[in-house]
Amino acid sequence: MASIEFVNVTQSFDKNVIIKDLNLKIEDGKFTVLVGPSGCGKTTLLRMIAGLDPQTSGSVLINGKDVTRIPPGQRGVAMVFQNYAIYPTMSVRENIEFGLKNNKVPKDERKRLVESISETVGLAGYLDRKPSTLSGGQRQRIALARAMVKKPSVFLMDEPLSNLDAKLRVQMRIELIEMHKKLGTTFVYVTHDQVEAMSMADTIVLMNQGQIQQEAAPEVIYRQPNNLFAAQFIGVPPMNIAELGIDNVMFGFRPESGVLSTEPLATHFQVPGTIVTREMLGSETIYQVKSEEQAYMIKCTEDRFVVDQEVYLGVEAGNLFFFGADENRIDREDGRFSSYLEALGGRSKVLVMRGQANG
C-alpha cells in the first residue's frame, strides 16, 4: 500500500520537454487511470514511478519517500506491459518465480506463492508450459501473476488490455476491477481508451500535451468537464460543441441530452436539421443531425427516425455547457452563464422561425 506523489516533475528526452513542472498526488489504495491521447505523457509518468526513466528534475515520492535514487527493482512496484514482456525462454513457473528468486525468497516459500497465485489467475495446469504454447489471454495472466506474486505496494499497468480481442478485453476489465478490490493495493493504469478509464477508475487523471487537464472521479469528469478537451475526450460520441457567436464562447451538450422531434420543441435550445446518418447499435441509435451551420451527434434510446428526415433537435437548459475563449468551462454559478444561456435561447427562436419560413 502506498501513495504516490509527483512534486514539480519535469521530464525531457533529448531536449524535448514531455512533462513540465507537474504536480500530482495518487491516493493510496485507489484505482487511478491515466488517460489521454498518444504522446500526452501518461506512459512517461508511469515509467517515472517505476524508475525506468528517472525524471529530469523534481521528485517522485512513494509513501512520502523520495525514490529518485532507488532502482526499479527496489521500489516495491510491479508493472504489466502492453506486450506482456514475458521471458520467452522460461516456463510459466520460472516467469512467475523470477522476481522472487532475485529477492532471495526461500525455495519452499516460492513454491507455495507461485502455486497459490497461479490458482488465483487460472494458470494452475500450465506452470510447466512454455509461454509460446499459451494464448494471448493466458500470457496476459502470466504477466499479472508475475506482478502479483511479489506483493507490490503499487501496481503499474501500461495499456495491458490493448493486445487482447474485444471480448476478452471486457472480461479482463472486470477481472482487474475484482483484483483491485481483493488486493486493495494502489493501481495506476495507463490507457488511451476512455471507455477503460470510465469503467475501471476510482480517479481519472486526464492528460494532454504533458499537462493534467482534469483529475476527478469518472462521473465528475463526465458531468463537469473542466474544459473543452475533457468534454470532447470523455464520452462516445464526444460532446457536441458549437460556437455561440459571442465573445468566442462555445456551447455544448452530450449526445444523449439531445431530443429529436418532427414538431418544434419547447426546449431551451433548438435547431431544425436533417438526419444525415443513422447508426443502430441495438439498445440505442446514434443519429447525425445536420443543421444549417453544424452537425450534431444525437444518441436516442428509441429508433424512430430515418435518414434524410427533417427534424427538430432540442436540448434542455440544464444539459447545456458553456466554454469561455480560454476553453475552460464556465460554471453555472458564474455571472456570465445566465447571459450566454439567454443568448442561446434567443438564437434558437430565430433559427426555428427561419426554419419554419423555409419549410
Partner 1 sequence: MSFEWKYVRAPLSFLLKAIVLMIFIFPFLWMISTSLQTFQETLTFPPTWIPSIPQWVNFSTAMNAGPFLTYARNSIIVTFSVILIQVLVMIPAAYAFAKYRFAGKEILFSFVLLAFMIPGQVTFIPVYLMLADWGLINSLLPQILPFMANAFGIFLLRQYFMQIPQEIIESARLDNASEFKIIWKIMVPMSMPALATIALFSFVSHWNDYFWPLVMTDSAAVRPLTMGIAMLRETEGISNWHIIMAGNVVLVIPILIVYLFASKQIVKAFVYSGIK
Judged by the rule CB under 8 A, the positions of this chain that interact with partner 1 are: 50, 52, 71-74, 77-79, 81-83, 85-90, 98-99, 102-103, 146, 150
Instruction: Report, in Å, the least distance between residue 123 CB and partner 1.
Output: 17
Instruction: Report, in Å, the least distance between residue 55 CB and partner 1.
Output: 16
Instruction: List all residues 6 or more positions away from 260 whose beta carbon is below 8 Å from its beta carbon.
Output: 287, 289, 298, 300, 304, 305, 311, 312, 313, 314
Residue 75 or 299: the one with the smaller Cβ distance to partner 1 is: 75
Instruction: Report, in Å, the least distance between residue 81 CB and partner 1.
Output: 4
Which residue, chain included where needed, has cell 525506468? Answer: 52
Helices (H) and strands (E) counted in the chain, each on its own, are 9, 18
Residue 82 or 339: the one with the smaller Cβ distance to partner 1 is: 82
Instruction: Report, in Å, the least distance between residue 85 CB and partner 1.
Output: 4
Residue 94 or 256: the one with the smaller Cβ distance to partner 1 is: 94
Q: Which helix (H) or strand (E) holds 138?
A: helix 136-148
Instruction: Report, in Å, the least distance between residue 99 CB and partner 1.
Output: 4
Residue 64 or 71: the one with the smaller Cβ distance to partner 1 is: 71
Residue 154 or 176: the one with the smaller Cβ distance to partner 1 is: 154
Question: Using CA atoms, how far apart are residues 325 and 228, in angstroms rounded to an integer?
Answer: 10
Residue 13 or 116: the one with the smaller Cβ distance to partner 1 is: 13
Instruction: Report, in Å, the least distance between residue 160 CB and partner 1.
Output: 12
Instruction: Report, in Å, the least distance between residue 70 CB and partner 1.
Output: 11
Instruction: List all residues 6 or more positions away from 225 whose beta carbon is below 8 Å from its beta carbon.
Output: 214, 231, 234, 239, 321, 329
Cβ contact 25:33 at 8 Å: no
Question: Using CA atoms, how far apart are residues 290 and 294, in angstroms rounded to an integer?
Answer: 6
Cβ contact 31:202 at 8 Å: yes
Q: For residue 115, what is its C-alpha cell?
A: 502455486
Among residues 292, 306, 299, 312, which one has the least CA distance to residue 240?
299
Instruction: Report, in Å, the least distance between residue 50 CB and partner 1.
Output: 6
- Per DSSP bridges, beta strands 285-290 and 269-280 are antiparallel
Q: How far is CA 310 from the centre of its chain?
A: 36
Residue 83 or 171: the one with the smaller Cβ distance to partner 1 is: 83
Residue 188 or 265: the one with the smaller Cβ distance to partner 1 is: 188
Beta strands in 1-138 (DSSP E): 4-13, 16-26, 31-35, 57-62, 65-66, 77-80
